[in-house]
Amino acid sequence: MRPCRRAGPGNPTAIPIEELETAVRQGDVEWWGERSDIPEILARATVYVLASYREGLSKALIEAAAAGLPLVTTDTTGCRDVVRDGENGLLVPPRDAGALAVAIARLLDDPELRERLGKAARADAEARYGIDGIIAAQLALY
């Protein structure tokens, strides 16, 4: 399966819908469209992957971490703010499909590593992004 940018007319970097539909028909891409059942999807996932070229602080990564998933993402600003390589997920160079595939395979092949990274991701999400962590950070500002 090849990566797919967000589809839609509001995204200037989106691929044309016709190209996306062709890729789906050919079996190159699985496209689910807009979804509202993200908690259920995350609960069924084994690994969370965000192959971003550039990113702010990714709420999606934080949500996946809070769901206890091991994370695979690119070593870019924002992503590396959430993922600490080898601690709560794996970082790979941006635009390196080979490294991304190796990291995903590593987690799929190693249930103990998945469990360790997923638990650490959950603990980190609670500590850094949970309500108690946010309140503590706000109070520290004052």
Q: What is the pLDDT of residues 38-84, one digit of tens each?
A: 999 999 999 999 998 888 899 999 999 999 999 999 999 999 999 99
Query: Starting at the edge strand that comes first in sequence, how are the strands of the sheet with 71-74 ordered?
Result: 48-50, 71-74, 89-92
| Banded model confidence at residue 9, pLDDT cuts 50, 70, 90 | low
Give the amino acid at 91: L
8 Å CB contact between 92 and 75: yes
Domains in the chain (CATH in brackets) are 1-34 (no CATH), 37-141 (3.40.50.2000)
Match 């600003």 to its residue by tokens.
77
> Cβ of 60: how many Cβ atoms within 10 Å?
16
8 Å CB contact between 82 and 65: yes
Match 């990714």 to its residue by tokens.
58
Per residue in 107-135, pLDDT (tens digit) is 999 999 999 999 999 999 999 999 988 89
